Amino acid sequence: MAGELQDIPLFPLGAVVLFPGMALPLHVFEERYKQMVGRCLATNEGFGVVLIREGREVGAPAEPFEVGTVARIASVERLPDGRMNLVTVGTRRFRCVEHVQVEPYRIARVEWLDDPPAGDEIGALAGEVRAAVEEYLQAVYALAERPRRAIEFPDDVALLSFQVGAVLQIAPQERQRLLETTATDARLRQELAYLRRETRLLQLLLSRRDSGNAGKFSRN
């Protein structure tokens, strides 16, 4: 965790947790966020994406969680009425220390969050997570009856943990818990538990579906 503080604008979202290294497309239509993005483009800086703890995306200022990820603007499409389509990429995690502005958009003073170096023993844990996420994805695509899409996971264990967090179809609050974890091994262990839980559920749904289809065939 670096000690230097910095002020950054915040973009609270209702169901999105952005992990470092992950892409996030955004449609910007509110005037306050058009102003915010304009500032970021002018200064070549990113903005913080934070999950909403209480409130809504549109209207009165929402209360966000303290931990989020900086989104770097990779591309912008300007629409005739002033709206914008952005493609952003998550970079660095932060924790809000205080909110120095609320209107028209939030600006927070933040400290940076970094995982400490992982120990040598993390390799075995990462291997378990890789195997578990493959089993999970097989179940996801089988239930959706879609061909398996190739997903490459990085060798770096911290980046691996962030990508697995992004792939997992779990509640936003559970993803937020992963984002807030400041040790790679602890994040991987929690993801392993989530992967095994979700895979069991998916396999149960697959079993029920297949049993129902078998019953339909036997009645014909």
We report the CATH number of the domain holding residue 72 as 2.30.130.40
How remote is the C-alpha of 122 from its chain's centroid? 22
Residues 73, 151 within the same domain: no
Q: How many CB atoms lie within 10 A of CB 173?
A: 11
Residue tagged 């809000």 (tokens): 96
pLDDT of residue 219: 46
Of 113, 134, 165, the last residue of a domain is 113
pLDDT of residue 148: 82
Q: Cite the DSSP H helix spans in 153-183.
A: 157-167, 172-180
Mean pLDDT of the chain: 91
pLDDT of residue 81: 87
Whole-angstrom Cα distance, residue 208 to residue 116? 44
Q: Residue 214 pLDDT > 60, yes or no?
A: no
Residues 97, 75 within the same domain: yes
For 123-179, how does the pLDDT look when each residue is reduced to its tens digit (9 = 90+)? 999 999 999 999 999 999 999 888 888 888 999 999 999 999 999 999 999 999 999
Q: What percent of the chain has pLDDT over 90?
A: 78
The residue among 211 and 97 whose pLDDT is bigger is: 97
Which residue(s) pair with 93 in the sheet?
69, 113
Which residues neighbour 208 within 8 Å (Cβ) at sequence distance 6 or greater? none
Q: How many CB atoms lie within 10 A of CB 2?
A: 11
Cis check: omega of the bond before 104, within 30 degrees of 0: yes
Exposure string over 124-142, b if 16+ CB within 10 A, otherwise e = ebbeebeebbeebbebbeb
| Cβ atoms of residues 62 and 82 within 8 Å | no
Residues 83, 160 within the same domain: no
Residues 21, 94 within the same domain: yes
Residues 49, 93 within the same domain: yes
44-53 average pLDDT score: 96
We report the CATH number of the domain holding residue 169 as 1.20.58.1480
pLDDT of residue 1: 44
Residues 100, 136 within the same domain: no
pLDDT of residue 215: 52
Residues 135, 86 within the same domain: no
Of 55, 87, 113, the last residue of a domain is 113
Residues 41, 107 within the same domain: yes
Whole-angstrom Cα distance, residue 67 to residue 43? 23
Residues 135, 191 within the same domain: yes
Q: Residue 189 pLDDT > 80, yes or no?
A: yes
pLDDT of residue 150: 81
Whole-angstrom Cα distance, residue 203 to residue 143? 8
SS3 sequence, 60-76?
CCCEECCEEEEEEEEEE
Domain range spanning residue 192? 122-219
Residues 162, 91 within the same domain: no
DSSP state of 58: S
Q: How many domains does the chain have?
A: 2
Of 96, 113, 130, the last residue of a domain is 113
Number of residues assigned to the chain: 220
pLDDT of residue 57: 65
| Cβ atoms of residues 138 and 130 within 8 Å | no
Residues 9, 100 within the same domain: yes
Residues 17, 95 within the same domain: yes
pTM above 0.85, yes or no: yes
